[in-house]
A and B are shown apart, each in its own frame.
Chain A
């Protein structure tokens, strides 16, 4: 009788997709930092490496503002600096000031601009070098009998750890049993809601987990690290120590080993976790030196190069990034021998045949609907295909065939035909005048979702029910013909 049934779709779906697109404009860590107390941030800003890393996470205009103010001793009137942005830059400039104030990098942005003293001192040290904070990592003594591992060895180590995690996620529930990551990683995956135990107490991937798999490695890494930071308090660790260690790692040099001697207790405890994620490498668990891997040293670069994690499985072949060729006839060729990438493709492609270095499949309605049912959105599929498109595909404009893109979106829309909305149906009005009268009132409240004057009934929003009910009761003075 009424089209607004309850067999609905969840409304919160789009929020995560939006969050991932805003990654390009704003780093995921910044909101987390903003939620921290001023004292915590001031402690964090004591260390030049933290300042440098946070500075790199900021947007371009924010960085420029910080640089302009860095060498000034006196404060600058806000209007003076504002006169220096063009008309189009007004909104971004104000946003930038708000962000910097929220991060307590700017002391107060209302009238006068000045950097907070702690940030200013440390940032100056970071740019010129100097101070005695040892925040860029103390290198281990060189001439021991064991040289630090080569960059390739580090890359392989990081790749292996990272892919173990992803592969475990993607193949959970499929019956395969790949090597399990460590207990700490499993706990983190469970806490972040990327995996959840099913009836048999086996961990199984959730719909956010599926979405996670399609993100870029850089975004995936930060997602896990943010989750790690959320857990820090529970584990009675000092958040500032944890953050500054991460930032220190991001300013370290690849292929150099550093001493653990000068780390605090918290940071030494972190070594084990970071080793599990593949961010650092240690010869033995109790070794007194560690090497950051490429996952760690690229934490604050804005482009996600991470050649290790994005590359093809072999790691030796130079053509990192792209391996997917998609044709207008929905056929897909993926030049990969990496089981992880094959498994991820399997989420939304029906694989026809596999060769030693090639997977051939096609995108079908069923395969895409399966992915949609897992909580993956059409946009995520398209952005995954775009990110990993083969260099040959990059010559095309637009990069992906429009037919395929549109069709994937249409398949998604297919599932969104029905929208659910809670409310009340009002029927059995005594007369048409009655009906019109109540309907007009409901229209004034803007709560009418659907009406049918022939049947003398209409459907109103949940919020408006109390008002309409009261209105009808006042009018009839008795029991109205309302069908809740």
Chain B
């Protein structure tokens, strides 16, 4: 239990969402500056826990994702003037993260239209990074592998679901499961995201929707600071109900009832004669039967517009909603 742990933090840096979040019309407006100071304090607490704890910070920006900081590679950072009142590793990390975010946001301002944030890119980078550190250390000796044990990813999300990223997010979840990496999600602003809920649920992490956004730091410290090994002693809040709906492969819509290819398990919002993924041809008879068994009212299928609703699972034998 007293092993070092690794934390990969993914920051959602969508300028438009942060602009909305800071608007005074919110019950608890949270400007980005305040958010960042809370997060940096949280990261300091993570490193303070143990000398050997490692840390990586990734940013999901509109259209691209970058690594903002990694504790295994601090060289090349700015020369931080020594300060006798601050613990140097903290100061170094904070200044690198802040400087990199600033530089990236500066670049953004030149762009006009804002593409959706590359959350998947950041998530994949985080997974690859964890994979790398666990492999390089376990290669040398068994003692060192304890250093990188206990990896986890924390996503601080402000953007809504991007239904086109359903498949890559699912794939990331599966690889995280395989590598026993926990994905924690904190929804700092905006409505619940279905995909990230599933990510937290499937990897054994916790998903938290902030109620008091001005108390962000306290939420972070109490729920996301304990490393996975400690969570058997400390009850970390988990969501009681999870939205398990999936997005179809054809239109990338979130569906209540999906039609699943019996060969490759691709999901479609309506019965198709040929599977677009594996080119399997389905018999005409099945299609007719499926079409007949579909709910008659088109509005029942109308979750295609992606509005959140509690999952309904009709017992249609040939159709399946993905779990």
Contact B230 A60 (CB under 8 A): yes
User: Given A60-B2, A134-B84, is A126 in contact with B52 using a C-beta cutoff of 8 Å?
Assistant: no
Residues of B contacting A61 with CB < 8 Å?
230, 233-234
Q: Given known contacts A132-B85, A136-B88, is B44 in contact with A127 (CB within 8 Å)?
A: yes
A129-B86 in contact given A52-B48, A301-B52, A321-B143 (Cβ < 8 Å)? yes
- Contacting residues, chain B, for A84 (C-beta < 8 A): 222, 234-235
Q: B110 at the A/B interface (Cβ < 8 Å)? A: no
Contact between chains at B141 and A56 (CB < 8 Å): no
* A126 engages B48 (CB within 8 Å): yes
The residue that A85 contacts in the complex, of B44, B51, B83, B233, with Cβ under 8 A, is B233
Q: Is the CB of A133 within 8 A of B140?
A: no
Is A361 in the interface zone, CB < 8 Å from B?
A: no
Name the A residues within 8 Å of B234 (CB-CB): 61, 64, 84-86, 89
Number of CB contacts from chain A to chain B under 8 A: 119
Question: With contacts A56-B51, A132-B85 known, is A321 near B141, CB below 8 A?
Answer: yes
Q: Is the CB of B232 within 8 A of A88?
A: yes
Asked whether B318 is an interface residue with its Cβ less than 8 Å from the other chain, the reply is: no
Asked if B221 contacts A70 (CB within 8 A), the reply is yes
Query: Could you tell me the distance in whole angstroms from the C-beta of A207 to the nearest C-beta in chain B?
Result: 29
Q: A56-B51, A302-B50, A391-B141 are in contact. Are A86 and B232 (CB under 8 A)?
A: yes
Q: Within the assembled complex, what's the spacing in Å between the Cα atoms of A394 and B87?
A: 36
* Distance, CA A52 to CA B87, complexed state (A): 9
A293 within 8 A of B: no
* Interface pair A302/B52, CB less than 8 Å apart: yes
Q: How far is the CB of A58 from chain B (nearest CB, A)?
A: 10
Q: How far is the CA of A129 from the CA of B80 in the complex (A)?
A: 14
Q: Which residues in B have their C-beta under 8 angstroms from that of A251?
A: 87-88
Answer whether residue A469 sits at the interface, using C-beta atoms and an 8 A cutoff. no
A181 interface residue, CB < 8 Å from B? no
For window 217-273 of A, CB contacts with B under 8 Å fall at: 251, 253, 256, 262
Are the C-beta atoms of A128 and B41 separated by less than 8 Å?
A: yes
Q: Are B225 and A67 in contact (CB under 8 A)?
A: yes
Tell me the dominant secondary structure on chain A's binding face. loop
Residues A305-362 near B (CB distance < 8 A): 321-322
* Contact A49 to B87, CB < 8 A, known contacts A128-B41, A391-B141: yes
Q: Can you list, as one digit per residue, whether each of A42-83 has a CB less than 8 Å from chain B (1) or not (0)?
A: 000000110010011001110110011011100000000000
Taking a contact as CB atoms under 8 Å apart, the answer to whether A303 and B4 are in contact is yes
Cross-chain contact A68 with B221 (CB below 8 angstroms): yes
Interface string of A103-146 (1 = CB under 8 A from B): 00000000000000000000001111111111111110000000
A71–B220 Cα gap in the complex (Å)?
A: 11
Q: Name 30 interchain pairs, CB-CB below 8 A, sorted by A.
A: A24-B2, A25-B2, A52-B87, A55-B48, A56-B49, A59-B2, A60-B49, A60-B226, A60-B230, A64-B225, A67-B221, A67-B225, A68-B221, A85-B233, A85-B235, A88-B232, A89-B234, A93-B233, A129-B94, A130-B85, A135-B85, A136-B85, A138-B84, A253-B88, A256-B82, A302-B2, A303-B51, A303-B52, A321-B141, A394-B143
Residues of B within 8 A of A (CB): 1-2, 4, 41, 44-45, 48-52, 82-88, 90-91, 94, 140-143, 146-147, 217-218, 221-222, 225-227, 230, 232-235
